[in-house]
Structure 1
Amino acid sequence: MTTLRTRRVATTRLTQQITEAKGEGKDGGEPVVFIHGNVSSSAFWRTTLTTLPDRYRPIAVDLRGFGGTDPLPVDATRGLRDYADDLAALLTALKVDRVHLVGWSLGGGVAMQYLRDHPAAVRSLTLVNPVSPYGFGGTRGVDGTLNSADGAGSGGGTANPEFVRLLAQGDRGEDSPNSPRSVLAACYVKPPMRPEHEDAYVASMLTTCLGDDHYPGDSTTSAAWPGIAPGTRGVLNCLAPTHFRIDDLHLIHPRPPVLWVRGEDDVIVSDTSVFDLAHLGAVGAVQGWDGTPAQPMVAQTRHVLDRYAAAGGRVREVAVADAGHAVHLERPEEFREALLEVLPA
């Protein structure tokens, strides 16, 4: 029988909270580490953890500032390396030398960064609706060309202030379309689906540490549209294309197999993302739009992975119909089937 255990693990960098699946054979199984997305925690992986065969050791980690992990500040000038270095310290503390990584959304970017920095330590990489290798916002074209040298249109200033306010209030309702529960129902999954354990997911979202050092981060003004550019601190700034860019993944060695799973109806990581100010400007939701094109997030990921495959890496893309941003919640059986194909038998 598989059970879940949550505990805190002291590392050389910080104390991190993890949730593990426990059962016969799992402690000695191959480690599979699951990394959650933005404004969430390892709670979003709890159901997935119980579905893997006993030959695997499933572990889900809370990133810094989320769930039960220490809320150390995020140095956005390092891109996602604060999180990737935290992961390296955790694996060292757990005495794990090589690992299968599964990263969702923000966690997909963390997993890509870890692979970039530690290729020999990764047995396989699974990306679930991952952030583009060129960050979130502020770029155009499949090669992630900056719209403005300062990254205008990305970073902490792009967050919806009402969503941040309701997170700070601990709002668990859905009276506002910007409440955590409403955003979960409208954006994390494809409506009209309402996920099982929704209350637990809302509670997970509310663990997000807020402020300039956390979510959403600080910001600066810009002469370029839409008038805001990334700062140097916090979550959204570490995703800014001026700080985070994985443009040379095809050069690493060795090149473990990569699985890319995405919901075809994702509205968060999309070529027409409802969180990309350029797309919102194009549809009239943000005033003063100057024609800046939307970021082709999916096309950018495909561009980077195509180069990885051309260099000899094995890549499989699985597009799940009628699913949104959280495929592992919306189509758990399809997700499990795809994941088990990239994990060794």
Structure 2
Amino acid sequence: MTSAFAQHLPGIRPAQVATARLRMHLLGSGAADGEPVLFVHGNFSSSTYFEELMLAMPASYRCLAVDLRGYGDTEDRPIDATRGARDWADDLDALLRALALPAVHLVGWSAGVAAIMQFAIDHPRAAKSLTLIAPVSPYGFGGTRDPQGAPCNSDYAGSGGGVVAAEFVERLQAGDLGEASEFSPRNVIRNSFFSQPLALDREEQLLRGSLRQRLGERHYPGDCEASPHWPFVAPGRFGPLNAISPKYFDLSAFADISPQPPVLWVRGDRDSIIGDQSRSDPAVLGREGLIPGWPGAERYPPQPMLAQTRELLRRYAANGGDFLEVVMPGVGHSPFLEDQANFLRAFRGFLEDAR
């Protein structure tokens, strides 16, 4: 069964795939026997965000976009955050086995990169290439201080399910379709996903796809624990935000995988979510007085997210791997939506070289 809200573009084929772990919602386009490319979304999004990109790909590619556990129209199952991104990675493995696809090109966006990089760590021969779009740091989101991912505090305070704005969660729970508040989901998409406020032609479909995100202590945002350390909240054990807490999430093993698929890292230079001065980082919010009591940069500096990704990929290259970093000027957190033509130019060239 697909969502009652689903309105897919012509040429997009929705399906439900029964796997050994759960039933997964999948969008497809292109040739059934084409070169397979799997697109994986991030937080507060779904597979529908990739539809235009999939249709812009050459017909010789078999494009697939999946709803992760906890999102969209995939079967409702909790996320065990103590496994980091492994629930998602294991789900992807089960999906590819169900589809009889031994290897694919992997494309992750934001937190979706956590899923594909963990998958590549666990199944390197199944990854033909990796494209990292505005990727979450290899040491997760929040609570670390240097390019190697050292924690600011021993309990990883400032990461996990307790750091998301309460009003945003309340509006998600209410199914808010309006624009009355900066925390209205529609405004979060317009103002956070792009370099400047932007309403796309398919905004209604994207918004409703985002609102299919499962909510609660075992889903989004997840549970949390009190901490004696600023900002006085530490990660819990369930949900996507805890799964990308550095308490449980660490992709440093990616530098040592073998074989080594080629990697494309694409980011916008005006990304307000993923960056060394992220507008969602508790340290940045504390420095600006939006979270009281910030202890200062010596004790709790902004997370150097870009430096962390670059340091890991340089270690990957030092071990013989190849990576290319593409920075798109004037673009925010969603390069493939904001500037599809230039994104495609880099992406298609990379895929052709990786085939």
User: Aligning the two structures, in what range does the TM-score lie when normalised by the shorter sequence?
Assistant: over 0.9
Please report how far the alpha carbon of residue 335 of structure 1 lies from its aligned counterpart in structure 2 after TM superposition: 1.1
Per the alignment, residue 255 of structure 2 pairs with 250
Q: Give yes or no for the alignment of 1:296 onto 2:296.
A: no
Q: Give yes or no for the alignment of 1:169 onto 2:174.
A: yes
After alignment, is 211-220 or 193-202 more displaced? 193-202
4+ residue segments displaced more than 2 Å: 192-196
Superposed CA offset, 1:233-291 (max 9, x none): 11100010010001121211000100000011001111111111111101111100001
Superposed CA offset, 1:168-221 (max 9, x none): 111111110001111111101121332231111111111010001110000001
Q: Any conservation in 2 of the 1:30–1:56 contact (CA below 8 Å)?
A: yes
Alpha-carbon distance in 2 for matches of 1:138, 1:38? 18
Could you tell me which amino acid in structure 1 is paired with residue 173 of structure 2? A
Alpha-carbon distance in 2 for matches of 1:132, 1:195? 27
Q: 1:214 aligns with which of 213, 219, 222?
A: 219
Please report how far the alpha carbon of residue 344 of structure 1 lies from its aligned counterpart in structure 2 after TM superposition: 2.6
- TM-score (structure 1 length as normaliser): 0.97
Alpha-carbon distance in 1 for matches of 2:90, 2:254? 18
Equivalent residues in 2 for 1:85-164 (5 A)? Answer: 85-164=90-169
Alpha-carbon distance in 2 for matches of 1:344, 1:185? 33
Q: 1:331 aligns with which of 307, 316, 339?
A: 339
Per the alignment, residue 229 of structure 2 pairs with 224
Please report how far the alpha carbon of residue 293 of structure 1 lies from its aligned counterpart in structure 2 after TM superposition: 0.3
SS of corresponding position for 2:291 = coil
SS of corresponding position for 2:324 = strand
Superposed CA offset, 1:45-82 (max 9, x none): 01111011122100000001111001101000000000
Gaps of 5+ in 2: 1-9
Could you tell me which amino acid in structure 1 is paired with residue 163 of structure 2? T
Per the alignment, residue 328 of structure 2 pairs with 320
Could you tell me which amino acid in structure 1 is paired with residue 341 of structure 2? E
Q: Give yes or no for the alignment of 1:16 onto 2:24.
A: yes
Could you tell me which amino acid in structure 2 is paired with residue 297 of structure 1? M
Could you tell me which amino acid in structure 2 is paired with residue 38 of structure 1? N
Gaps of 5+ in 1: none
Q: Any conservation in 2 of the 1:195–1:330 contact (CA below 8 Å)?
A: no
Q: Any conservation in 2 of the 1:152–1:222 contact (CA below 8 Å)?
A: yes
Per the alignment, residue 239 of structure 1 pairs with 244
Could you tell me which amino acid in structure 1 is paired with residue 145 of structure 2? R
- TM-score (structure 2 length as normaliser): 0.95
Could you tell me which amino acid in structure 1 is paired with residue 251 of structure 2? I
Per the alignment, residue 194 of structure 1 pairs with 199
Q: Any conservation in 2 of the 1:151–1:241 contact (CA below 8 Å)?
A: yes
Alpha-carbon distance in 2 for matches of 1:193, 1:218? 32
Aligned length: 342
